[in-house]
Amino acid sequence: MKVCTDACVFGAWADIENAEHILDIGAGTGLLSLITAQRNKNGKICAVELDADAFSQAKENIENSPFADRIEIFHSAIQDFSGLEKFDCIISNPPFFQSDLRSPDSKINRAHHSDSLTFQDLLKAVDKLLTEAGKFNILLPVDEGTIFQELAEKSGWCIRRKLTLFHQNGKKPFRTLMVLVRGESAGFRAVNSDLFIYDEDGKTYHPGFAELMKDFYLIF
Give the pLDDT of residue 96.
67
Give the pLDDT of residue 108.
46
Give the pLDDT of residue 185.
55
Quote the pTM value.
0.89
Q: What domains, with CATH codes, occur in the chain?
A: 5-164+176-186 (3.40.50.150)
CA distance linking residue 42 with residue 59, whole number of Å? 20
Q: Tell me the HSE value of 129 on the side-chain side, using a 13 A CA sphere.
A: 27
Question: Residue range 154-169: average pLDDT?
Answer: 96
CA distance linking residue 50 with residue 206, whole number of Å? 35
- Tens of pLDDT along 117-126? 899 999 999 9
- Tens of pLDDT along 69-94? 999 999 999 999 987 789 999 999 98
- Tens of pLDDT along 168-211? 999 999 999 999 999 875 556 779 999 999 999 999 999 999 99
